[in-house]
């Protein structure tokens, strides 16, 4: 590292935060240099070119705000209904339909090659970056060096940096122009570098994989990823259902799997009060258990004189739901993909 950079990094840290390492002491320049030396050694062992190594190590900066973000990730407190209202809104649906008409050939190609329909690709694209409108601002080299120095997940972020270097090297990309989230996700579908290394593909035939500036590469890579996760285009993701009010709530975290016939026998109904499909396919049930109202009601016949029957609103979750969770391990994210994709068919 040049002397100017060595002076700048700790100066930035203390000017912005007074002492950004109040718990561990002042900025450790020896540790920073040791991390850089280790990256050089590891990169050389992976046959990454000297030019890419030198570009990566030219002047990485320590970014205190990234450490702050990593240490203060907000606890998720929205109800499921509030979350869905926020992420599956009218603007996102309208924008998704517009994008669908803009890229019919690309979307059709992804469906034909990878077996992932357009409305599914669009749902992931909308959720991850609002169809490319959300631009990441952090230089990923800086982000990864900062998080490696912080040390909470040094090996993980070191692996991400090496994967990024390899990708930049193989695809003739300027590593110092690659930007992403503070945690290292990048592009239209917010892949981290190791995911990109495993599933990235050249979707536009130019001999490179660039999921930031090429929509074709981004779509194809997302389709390839979902294909490798086992996506089944003949199956839906989830179905809104209602359950008896005395239903065992311990079964509503999606982990317990039963056949559709078994769930039907336990009183699971379609949201309109009709019977769910039956069969040997296994599915789970997911509900916002912490926010189930004490007095909910559902009436299969509004003209009936019989009092409404108390019920629990839930989602019956099919195998594709669990494939989504390997992309993002969140029940609510998977439900949002299901809801948004249904509206973008």
pLDDT of residue 222 exceeding 60, the answer is: yes
Q: Which residue is it, tokens 């078994």?
A: 262
Yes or no: say if 145 and 60 are a contact pair by the CB < 8 Å rule. Answer: yes
Can you give the pLDDT at residue 76? 60
Provide the pLDDT for residue 78.
85
Give the mean pLDDT of 308-324: 90
List beta partners, residue 270: 241
Confidence band, pLDDT 50/70/90 cuts, at residue 305? low
Distance CA 219, CA 105 (A): 11
What does the pLDDT read at residue 300? 53
The domain locations on the chain are 3-72+135-228, 238-317
Task: Specify the pLDDT at position 303.
Answer: 59
Mean pLDDT of the 55-69 span: 93
Whether the Cβ atoms of residue 314 and residue 252 lie closer than 8 Å to each other: yes
Q: Contact 16/27 with Cβ under 8 angstroms?
A: no
pLDDT of 25: 56
Identify the pLDDT of residue 48: 98
Give the containing element (helix H, strand E) for 44. helix 29-45
Tokens (6 digits) for 75: 């606890």
**What residues contact residue 152 under an 8 Å CB cut-off, 6+ apart?**
70
Mean pLDDT of 189-194: 98
Secondary structure element (H or E) that encloses residue 282, with its range: strand 282-286
Model confidence at 3, in pLDDT bands (50, 70, 90)?
very low
Query: What are the pLDDT digits (tens) for 100-149?
Result: 999 999 999 999 999 999 999 999 999 999 999 988 889 999 999 999 99
Q: Are 158 and 41 in contact (CB under 8 A)?
A: no
What is the pLDDT confidence band of residue 297, given thresholds at 50, 70 and 90?
low
What pLDDT sits at residue 152?
A: 86
Interval 58-82 mean pLDDT: 85
Q: What is 3-72+135-228's CATH topology?
A: Helicase, Ruva Protein; domain 3 (1.10.8)
User: What are the residues whose beta carbons fall under 8 Å from the beta carbon of 285, sequence distance 6 or more?
Assistant: 241, 243, 251, 252, 254, 256, 263, 268, 314, 315, 316, 317
Given a cut of 80, is residue 173 above it in pLDDT? yes
């Amino acid at each position: 590292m040049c002397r100017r950079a060595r002076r700048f990094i700790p100066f930035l840290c203390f000017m912005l935060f007074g002492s950004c390492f109040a718990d561990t002491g002042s900025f450790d320049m020896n540790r920073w240099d040791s991390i850089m030396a280790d990256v050089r050694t590891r990169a050389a062992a992976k046959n990454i070119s000297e030019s890419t190594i030198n570009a990566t190590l030219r002047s990485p900066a320590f970014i205190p705000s990234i450490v702050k973000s990593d240490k203060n990730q907000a606890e998720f407190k929205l109800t499921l209904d509030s979350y869905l209202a926020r992420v599956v809104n009218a603007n996102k649906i309208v924008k998704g339909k517009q994008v669908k008409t803009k890229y019919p050939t690309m979307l059709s190609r992804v469906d034909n090659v990878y077996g992932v329909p357009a409305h599914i690709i669009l749902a992931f694209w909308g959720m991850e970056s609002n169809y490319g409108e959300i631009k990441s601002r952090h230089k990923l080299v800086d982000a990864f060096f900062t998080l490696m120095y912080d040390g909470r997940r040094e090996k993980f972020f070191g692996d991400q940096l090496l994967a990024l270097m390899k990708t930049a090297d193989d695809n003739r990309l300027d590593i110092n122009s690659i930007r992403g989230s503070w945690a290292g996700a990048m592009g239209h579908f917010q892949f981290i570098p190791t995911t990109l290394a495993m599933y990235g593909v050249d979707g536009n035939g130019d001999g490179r994989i660039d999921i930031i500036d090429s929509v074709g590469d981004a779509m194809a890579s997302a389709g390839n990823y979902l294909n490798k996760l086992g996506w089944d285009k003949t199956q839906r993701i989830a179905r809104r259902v209602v359950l008896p009010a005395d239903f065992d709530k311990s079964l509503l975290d999606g982990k317990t799997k039963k056949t559709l016939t078994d769930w039907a026998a336990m009183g699971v109904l379609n949201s309109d009060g009709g019977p769910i499909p039956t069969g040997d396919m296994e599915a789970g049930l997911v509900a916002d258990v912490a926010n189930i109202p004490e007095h909910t009601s559902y009436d299969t016949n509004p003209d009936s004189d019989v009092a409404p029957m108390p019920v629990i609103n839930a989602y019956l979750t099919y195998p594709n739901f669990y494939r989504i969770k390997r992309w993002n391990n969140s029940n609510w994210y998977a439900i949002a993909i299901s809801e948004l994709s249904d509206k973008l068919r």
